[in-house]
């Protein structure tokens, strides 16, 4: 079990390396630099699990091993929830630790179930067994991303925003990429297992032939991706300024401290800006409009709404009232428009933005401000400005690529630039910042769109359509990032099929593989 716990933790570390080792160029990036994804570690750590499942004496023991691996992986992935609950929520440290472990253990149950099924049918031929593991593992990932509103943070596919599998997201998204990684991991484990059991019967020719075929397929996909990246939107691009206020989370909603600092600093930066587009993060303005000083909004809007102006802005601000309910909103200001653009957050965070039934006591215990929000519609319109179509998403929403795909119904209306406005100051100076950055990079790969990220504490960056971070601010600094962004047009295969069908095709494919294997296993037993 200790080895599985280490392998599970390694799975977490592969998503964003939590130590500052191997900083540099070339092969040193394979060793890891702080916040870097390590694609090879994700595959190897998962291969350890597959090997353990194959050696398990019973399906029940396999389920226990899968649960231990997954619990360690998930706890090591989102351990920073402890910070939000203990440091900022005031929950006693033992209770906060217990809450993180309980969540990881609960979500680990999905992987325990699929580990049980894998053991039951793993004695099918190796080629099919590897596909079965990949299918079952993907079904667990899909279930985690969908059930109970979904919590897909830390999905294995996010380790592959860099590396050889980064060619895949434009075709099959993060879950499809995770499927391929799981298949490779299973193949490695099966080959190792076969070599140990039958050292003289390992035939290399089929293995080498398979590798050659994979290289050819990979090369074709890479060429197709490279070709697609040569077509810019035909616009000169935008000059942008991304604002990072670095308001301490324990002061952000305090009227006598953080609120005053935020209102003054953001007002000054907005008023002084010279860029074509200015973006301030989620709840940069931390008060409802009716709570703001008189004429405050008129002052900060003035440079952007005046007729004939050359600047626009996207600003995070809560809207609403007690009677109608509240929304976590991005308001857009464009020259000559009498009504501001409005995007309301659709995918809300459990406990933080909506309260599940029977859990009001928990949010009251943690003193979460504005803990109940109304949902915005799925697939809200983009904001058009300077030849670009800007599509905001707020914080947690960029975990759900299948929901962002709702904006890609037509090439003529699809966003040319994605804009994430976040405040993850709840999680302190932790690897959560880098994990979230890599999530945004995955969305850039899936849709081949640049992503602007304006955050309270980091990572405030410009990501290009190849998922490269081309400009960035250091976290936990109060600063402004000035850069340019070039929008992109066209539709990736992933955007087309997920918009039309959601994740149903991938789910059905996985179920079909499992069904074929189950029938094959029954025939072998019969």
CATH for 475: 3.60.110.10
**Do 271 and 151 reside in the same domain of the chain?**
no
Helix (H), strand (E), coil (C) string for 107-154: HHHHHHHHHHHHHHHCCCCHHHHHHHHHHHHHHHHHHHHHHHHCCCCC
Cβ count near 136 (within 10 Å): 26
| Residue 205 annotated among the catalytic residues of the structure | no
| Residue 274 annotated among the catalytic residues of the structure | no
pLDDT of residue 28: 61
CA angle 154, 191, 204 (to 5 degrees): 130
CB 83 within 8 A of CB 152: no
**Do 463 and 508 reside in the same domain of the chain?**
no
Element counts in the chain: helices (H) and strands (E): 16, 12
Count of the separate structural domains present in the chain: 2
Q: How far is CA 525 from CA 56, 59, 511, in A?
A: 19, 15, 21
Helix (H), strand (E), coil (C) string for 176-221: HHHHHHHHHHHHHHHHHHHHHHCCCCCCHHHHHHHHHHHHHHHHHH
**What is the torsional sign of CA 143, 144, 145, 147?**
positive
User: Whose CA is closest to 461, among 447, 474, 444, 448?
Assistant: 474
**Do 353 and 419 reside in the same domain of the chain?**
yes
d(CA 338, CA 476): 36
The SS3 of residue 38 is: coil
Give me the tens of pLDDT residue by residue for the chain, a chain 526 residues long. Answer: 889 999 999 999 999 999 886 666 666 667 778 899 999 999 999 999 999 999 999 999 999 999 999 999 999 999 999 998 898 888 899 999 999 999 999 999 999 999 999 999 888 888 889 999 999 999 999 999 999 889 999 999 999 999 999 999 999 999 999 999 999 999 999 888 766 655 555 556 666 666 777 777 777 777 777 666 555 556 678 999 999 999 998 888 888 788 999 999 999 999 999 999 999 999 999 999 999 998 999 999 999 998 889 999 999 999 998 888 899 999 999 998 889 999 999 999 887 777 665 566 565 665 555 457 899 999 999 999 999 999 999 999 999 999 999 999 999 999 999 999 999 998 999 999 999 999 999 999 999 999 999 999 989 999 999 999 999 999 999 999 999 999 999 999 999 999 999 999 999 999 999 999 888 777 776 5
**Do 198 and 315 reside in the same domain of the chain?**
no
**Do 156 and 18 reside in the same domain of the chain?**
yes
Q: Which of the residues 141, 252, 353, 395 is marked catalytic?
A: 395
The encoded tokens of residue 143 equal 């279930």
CB 418 within 8 A of CB 391: yes
Q: Kindly state whether residue 127 falls inside one of the protein's structural domains.
A: yes
Q: Kindly state whether residue 494 falls inside one of the protein's structural domains.
A: no
CA angle 286, 288, 292 (to 5 degrees): 85
Q: Kindly state whether residue 477 falls inside one of the protein's structural domains.
A: yes
Q: Kindly state whether residue 493 falls inside one of the protein's structural domains.
A: no
**Do 201 and 307 reside in the same domain of the chain?**
no
The backbone torsions φ and ψ at residue 90, rounded to the nearest 5 degrees and listed phi first, read: 80, 10
User: Whose CA is closest to 405, among 347, 462, 351, 333?
Assistant: 347
pLDDT of residue 360: 61
pTM: 0.93
CB 232 within 8 A of CB 490: no
d(CA 334, CA 313): 7
Q: Kindly state whether residue 279 falls inside one of the protein's structural domains.
A: yes
pLDDT of residue 389: 96
CB 282 within 8 A of CB 422: yes
Q: Kindly state whether residue 43 falls inside one of the protein's structural domains.
A: yes
**Do 246 and 222 reside in the same domain of the chain?**
no
Element (H, E) at 440: helix 432-447
**Do 323 and 221 reside in the same domain of the chain?**
no
**Do 345 and 482 reside in the same domain of the chain?**
yes
**Do 144 and 277 reside in the same domain of the chain?**
no
Q: Kindly state whether residue 491 falls inside one of the protein's structural domains.
A: no
Element (H, E) at 331: strand 325-333
The backbone torsions φ and ψ at residue 314, rounded to the nearest 5 degrees and listed phi first, read: -125, 125
Q: Which of the residues 141, 162, 282, 446 is marked catalytic?
A: 282
| Residue 395 annotated among the catalytic residues of the structure | yes
**Do 188 and 289 reside in the same domain of the chain?**
no
pLDDT of residue 471: 96
CB 314 within 8 A of CB 279: yes
CB 219 within 8 A of CB 226: no
Q: Kindly state whether residue 232 falls inside one of the protein's structural domains.
A: no
For 345, the domain range is: 238-486
The encoded tokens of residue 336 equal 């000559």
**Do 266 and 163 reside in the same domain of the chain?**
no
pLDDT of residue 370: 46
């Amino acid at each position: 079990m200790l080895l599985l716990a280490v392998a599970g933790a390694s799975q977490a570390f592969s998503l964003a390396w939590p130590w500052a080792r191997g900083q540099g160029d070339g092969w040193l990036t394979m060793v890891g630099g702080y916040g870097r994804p390590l694609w090879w570690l994700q595959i190897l750590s998962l291969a350890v699990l597959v090997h353990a499942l194959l050696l398990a004496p019973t399906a029940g023991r396999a389920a226990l091993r899968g649960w231990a691996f997954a619990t360690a992986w998930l706890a090591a992935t989102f351990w920073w929830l402890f910070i939000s609950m203990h440091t900022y929520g005031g929950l006693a440290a033992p209770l906060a630790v217990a809450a993180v472990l309980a969540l990881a253990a609960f979500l680990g149950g999905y992987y325990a179930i699929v580990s049980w099924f894998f053991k039951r049918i793993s004695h099918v031929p190796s080629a099919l067994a590897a596909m079965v593991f990949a299918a079952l593992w993907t079904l667990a990932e899909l279930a985690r991303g969908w059930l109970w509103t979904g919590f897909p943070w830390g999905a294995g596919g996010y380790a592959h925003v860099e590396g050889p599998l980064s060619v895949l997201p434009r075709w099959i998204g993060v879950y499809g990429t995770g499927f391929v990684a799981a298949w490779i991991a299973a193949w490695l484990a099966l080959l190792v297992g076969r070599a140990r059991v039958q050292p003289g019967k390992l035939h290399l020719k089929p293995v080498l032939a398979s590798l050659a075929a994979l290289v050819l397929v990979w090369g074709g996909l890479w060429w197709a991706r490279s070709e697609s990246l040569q077509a810019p939107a035909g616009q000169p691009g935008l000059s942008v300024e991304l604002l990072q206020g670095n308001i301490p989370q324990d002061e952000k909603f305090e009227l006598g401290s953080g609120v005053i600092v935020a209102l003054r600093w953001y007002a000054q930066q907005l008023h002084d800006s010279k860029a074509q587009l200015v973006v301030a993060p989620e709840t940069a303005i931390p008060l409802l409009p009716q709570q703001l000083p008189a004429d405050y909004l008129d002052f900060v809007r003035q440079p952007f709404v005046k007729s004939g102006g050359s600047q626009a802005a996207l600003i995070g601000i809560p809207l609403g009232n007690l009677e109608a309910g509240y929304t976590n909103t991005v308001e857009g200001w464009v020259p000559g428009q009498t009504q501001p653009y409005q995007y309301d957050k659709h995918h809300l965070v459990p406990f933080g933005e909506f309260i599940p039934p029977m859990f009001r006591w928990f949010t009251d215990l943690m003193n979460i401000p504005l803990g109940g929000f109304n949902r915005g519609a799925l697939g809200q319109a983009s904001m058009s400005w300077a030849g670009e179509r800007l599509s905001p998403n707020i914080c947690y929403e960029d975990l759900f690529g299948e929901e962002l795909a709702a904006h890609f119904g037509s090439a003529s209306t699809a966003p040319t630039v994605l804009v994430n406005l976040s405040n993850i100051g709840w999680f302190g100076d932790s690897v959560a910042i880098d994990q979230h950055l890599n999530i945004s990079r995955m969305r850039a790969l899936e849709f081949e769109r640049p992503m602007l990220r304006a955050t309270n504490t980091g990572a405030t960056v410009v990501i290009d359509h190849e998922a490269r971070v081309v400009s960035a601010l250091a976290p936990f600094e109060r600063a402004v990032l000035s850069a340019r962004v070039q929008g992109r047009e066209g539709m990736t295969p992933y955007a087309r099929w997920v918009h039309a069908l959601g994740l149903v095709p991938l789910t059905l494919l996985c179920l079909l593989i499992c069904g074929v294997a189950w029938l094959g296993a029954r025939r072998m037993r019969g």
